[in-house]
Every structure is written in C-alpha cells, then in structure tokens.
Amino acid sequence: MPDAADTFPRLVLRQAEERPDRPAFREKYLGIWQVWTWAQVADEARAFACGLAALGFSRGGHLGVVGDNRPRLYWAMAAAQCVGGVPVPLYQDSVAQEIAYVLQDAEATVVVAEDQEQVDKLLEILPQCPNLKTIVFDDARGLLRYQQPQLLSFERVQALGREYDRQHPGFFAAAIAAGSADDVATILYTSGTTGNPKGVTLTHRAMIATGRTYAELEHLGPRDEMLAYLPMAWVGQNLFSYAQSIVAGFCVSCPESTETVMADMREIGPTYYFAPPRVLEALLTQVTIRMEDASRLKRGLYEYFMGVARRVGPKLLGGAEKVGIAERLLYGLGDFLVYGPLRNVLGMSRVRVAYTAGEAIGPDLFVFYRSIGVNLKQLYGQTETTVCVCVQPDGQVKPDTVGPPLPGVELRLAESGEVLVRTPGLFREYHRNPQATAEAKDAEGFFHTGDAGYFDRDGHLKIIDRAKDVGRLADGTLFAPKYLENKLKFFPYIKEAVCFGQGRERVCALVNIDMDAIGNWAEKRHLSYSGYADLAAQPAVYDLVRGCVEQCNRELAADATLANSQIHRFLILHKELDADDGELTRTRKVRRRHVGEKYAALVDALYSGKTSCYIETQVRFEDGRTGMVSANLKIAEARVFDGDAVRRAA
C-alpha cells in the first residue's frame, strides 16, 4: 500500500500529529530565538490557506512568494499547496522587471512579499500584471500609510481565514483530500544565462521522492537542524529547508538578517549544512586573515596542526584507509587545540553532513574543510532534477568527482559526453513552454543536462564542462578546455588560463599570472620587477608556472580519459585578460573564441615550435582611452607524463 502522506500538506499534518511539540521553525526576533512547533505551523498554514480561499484563490492558482527566508513565507507555500495552489518563489534581489516577467508567465493572482522593499517593486509592476489581485505582506514596517486596495497584511489574511474556516467547517479537510501526488508542488524559475528564465514544474511526488532519498542516505531525522540562508527561489534551499524538513521533520532556522548569518549559525549549530563554493571560500579567507593577525604562538600552532590535518584528517573522515596510532594521537591533540575551536568559530561544531554544489570546487578548499573534520561532500543536480543526481556517499569522497548516482537515478552518457538523467525527481515540464520541454527531455524521459562528464574507475561521475564547449583532439580523444583551465586556476599563482586543442594534435595554453600572489612570492625572494609585463616575463616566474602546469599534467596522466589532454606548451601573457578588452565576459568568464582570434599569432607560435613570439595588442584603460602594448613572449615547454606509467605506479 502506498504511503498515504504523499503530498506536502498531508505530510505537514502528519508531522503535527506525530510530533506536535517538536520545533519546526525558528527565527530570531528582538535578539531572542522564537520557536514554532509543528502543531503551530500546521495551524498557521491552515489559517492562511483558508484566508487564501476567502480571497478567491483556488485549485491550480499560482502564489508568488518573494523575500528572504522567513517562516511565514514558508507557511504561505504550504498554505497554497493545501488549497491545491502552486507556490512560485522568486529571487528576493530581482529587479522589478524580472519579477514582472515571472509573475506574468506564472499568471500569479496573489503574491506574498516580505517587506516594504518587495511591496514597492510589486506596486510598480502592478499595471503589467493584470492577474495579480492581492499583495500580502509579512513585515508591516513602512507600509502603515499605504492605501492600495490590493495590500493586505499576513495577519489580516489569517484572520479572514479563521473566519472562513468557521463558516466552512469541512473545507480545509476536503481541500487537502482533493490533492494528488501528481499535482504540481512548485514552479521554480531558473535564472537562465541566455533568454528569459524558464519555469520548472516539480510535482509533490518528485520533491517528496527526492526528500526521502536524501533523508535515507544521510539518516536525517527530527533531531537535525538547518539554517536557511540561501534564496528560497533556488532549488537547493527549497528542497533542503522545505521539502526535506517536512519529510524528515527537522527544524529550519531563519537568520535574524542577512548580515547575521555567521553569528546565527554559531548559535543554532546546524547539523545539516549547505554552502556553494564561494561561501566556503569566503569563510576560509576570513580564517586565513584572522590567523595572519594572530600572535606567533597561535600562528605556529595553526600552521603545524593544519599540516597534520591535511595529512590525516581526510583519511580519518573517510574511514577507508588505515591511520597509525601516533598520527591519530597527534590529530586528537590538534582537534583539541585547533580544529575544534575553528569548527566552533565557523558554526560547524555539530555539522554531520555538509554539501557543496553549483560550480567546481578547488581541491585545496574542499580538503581544508574535510581535514578539520567537517564532513563536506559534493552533490550534483539541476533544478530540473530537483538537485538529485549524484552525491558522494560517506567514505567515498573524492575532491574531483561528484560521486555515484543516487539510488533510483538512471544516468546515461550521450555520444557527445553529455550527461542524461532519468529520476523519480525529474521535472514535469517547463511551464507554458512545450518547445523547451521537448528539447530538454527526450522520448524515453531522459533529461539532457547540457553538462559533459564521464565515469571514473569507481563509477563516480566527473563533470568536466558544458557539453557545448567540449571538443575532440585530432586523435578523437576528449578535450574539455574549461576543465583544464579550472585545474590550472586552482593554483593560487594562476589567475586565468585559456586552453586550445580543438581538432589539434596537442593541447597548448595561454596563462595569466595572479599579480597579488606572484607579486608576494617575488617579494619574498627579493626578485625585482617593474610591473605586470616584466614580472610575467621573469624566468623564475616561468619556472613557477611550469611547475603548476606539470603538476596538472601529472594529475591528468592518472586519468585514462584525459591523459591525452596534457598541456605541452604554454606562454604567460603580458597583460591581464580584461572584460573591457572583450576577453572576458562581465561575469569574468573567458571568451575562448575571441581570445583565440585576438591572439592568433600566439596560438600559431605555440603550435609551430617557435621559442618566442612578438605581439602587439590594443588595451583599453579604465578612463576609456586606448593604447598599444607590445612584448616579446617566451614560449615554454612543459613535461608530459606517460599515462600508463603513472596509473601503474598509483
């Protein structure tokens, strides 16, 4: 017999019945953490759901939700689902026009907004959204004197709802009974880099299946704690703090404000944590800066024990490799002196499971967290798959893969290397966009992710690039320029790299040095230089970068699929790649084709066996003037490794 609680409203009611007094939500208000139990949450959602019904919001209607993580916004989502409606969370930092597009596309009739800032945006676009009849606000501050008839406070809607509930006693139960697992539970708009965002429709069945998969894999239960600090409109936050919380019954805490997240995290002590690489990076930078300001004794201790941690920590956490008693004792001492206090400062003392995803994470960054005992793991997925494709299981964590497919997920690799996915958590369609749906989902129900990847020896998926950027070398082997570039960029000395190899025999690269890191490095060695171009041309810098490239080659050689894309020759550019010169996009992504054309002479020289090349380029200064810079660039050879030999040695 299938589980009767197969929609979110039914699950909320079940949590309220099974654990009425367990905390479901926390939010800090006036310096004190306020708690709402599951019973209270069910009651609040019921009042709001009936209020929505009183306002004429009915089955199939769409409810916009816009704001930071606030308990009431989550309750509004549950309430909409109770009456068969579909919540559509929006990014709280969207400008008015972006919000207008989504509200029009979703034909939302009611929007729940966090505060005055959001209400102002909504009022501005009201004339463009004829379907939008009601704006409900959570925080009344500054809205006292607004007189628009569309505006209603959250409390007012709940009061209407309680009245409606009294007059229609059977309504609420009947509305929940009418829901089906195959109803759409939410529509999440993906922030597409090209064109308008697409609305991804996810059913109750898909989201609950995903929530259960994660809950079982990580043994999530009512005793777990999570801090909701990423946008609600992002599928990950939605899944972790809404779907999983309702499935597993754990408590979600909302930070006091976006600036207090670090302090709130220390106070709450989450057991379950998610952070994209950029957040982890920012945290590590803070730690590093504070350690540099610390006294010599502390700094010495930190450096010594971090060395121990890097050697021993990941092995201990993985549990697969043997660790000697002496190393264990040393790590234990380090844990007492350094790692424990550090985890405490980061608010990660109680973290049992931490995930990162979204972009490639540098191995050093990844290993840092694991070495201090935080069980950080990578996962892989998209909005369309409810972020449920691959996760690294405990004990099988590697810095450069995203792990094996989750239970119930079917993965296939297309001829082009593109990853195709079929899972119970798959989206139904793009809202009102059958053409895009047909392009993304094939006849067999596989979703085309647009990512290229392959499986390593242990069956872990390795994502290397966007499928459209992946090419082939002349001998037909895979060439993933972004993967190589990322690998190079993970070295602190390399700021940017551009790899060439499409249709060629071998891979060559243009490299940009990181002025800060190499400048520092040069200073310590008393290496004098006059500027960027001079520093970039120093033989010692070439040696340093060659070391990085060769290290990268060694790692590539260990991987049968990529052994052929080792970098044979490279040169260091005399100027930084710059968005003003059209070499980077505004989000700092390399425009590979443009760079290839602009520096065609250099690329030819890399492939022709010359040892140097003269180049003259136009640069645009910050004040808009242009000028010419010229340089005679050296071309360096890098050692390549015999793939089979390296793999045998390993």
- Report the interface residues with another protein, using CB under 8 A: 28-32, 141-142, 144-148, 256-257, 259-260, 263
Nearer to another protein, 279 or 517 (CB): 279
H/E stretch holding 330 reads helix 325-334
The answer to whether 196 touches 101, Cβ cutoff 8 Å, is yes
Min dist. Cβ of residue 259 to another protein (A): 3
DSSP letter for 92, please.
T
Sign of CA dihedral 583, 585, 588, 590: negative
Min dist. Cβ of residue 68 to another protein (A): 12
Nearer to another protein, 32 or 650 (CB): 32
Nearer to another protein, 259 or 415 (CB): 259
Nearer to another protein, 257 or 344 (CB): 257
Min dist. Cβ of residue 146 to another protein (A): 6
Nearer to another protein, 256 or 465 (CB): 256
Min dist. Cβ of residue 258 to another protein (A): 9
Q: From residue 419, how far is each of 224, 318, 390, 453, 483 by CA, in Å?
A: 33, 27, 11, 6, 15
Helix, strand, or coil here: 359?
Answer: coil
CA–CA distance, 583 with 570 (Å, rounded to integer): 18
Token pair for 23:
């905390």
Nearer to another protein, 95 or 263 (CB): 263
Min dist. Cβ of residue 571 to another protein (A): 42
Q: Tell me whether residue 628 is exposed, middle or buried, using C-beta atoms within 10 angstroms of its C-beta: 0 to 12, 13 to 18, 19 or more.
A: exposed
Cβ atoms < 10 Å from Cβ of 115 = 19
- Describe the crossing of helices 363-371 and 296-318 by its angle, rounded to 10 degrees: 90
Token pair for 309:
């941690």
Nearer to another protein, 174 or 263 (CB): 263
Min dist. Cβ of residue 262 to another protein (A): 9
DSSP letters, 217-251, are HHT--TT-EEE--S-TTSHHHHIIIIIHHHHH--E
Nearer to another protein, 91 or 146 (CB): 146
Residue of 283, 284, 293, 291 whose CA lies nearest to 261: 283
Nearer to another protein, 256 or 485 (CB): 256
The answer to whether 22 touches 129, Cβ cutoff 8 Å, is no
Min dist. Cβ of residue 227 to another protein (A): 15
164-170 CB contacts, 8 Å cutoff, 24+ apart: 164/50, 164/51, 164/53, 164/54, 165/46, 165/47, 165/50, 168/50, 168/53
Min dist. Cβ of residue 141 to another protein (A): 7
Min dist. Cβ of residue 151 to another protein (A): 10
Min dist. Cβ of residue 265 to another protein (A): 13
Nearer to another protein, 269 or 393 (CB): 269
CA–CA distance, 295 with 288 (Å, rounded to integer): 13
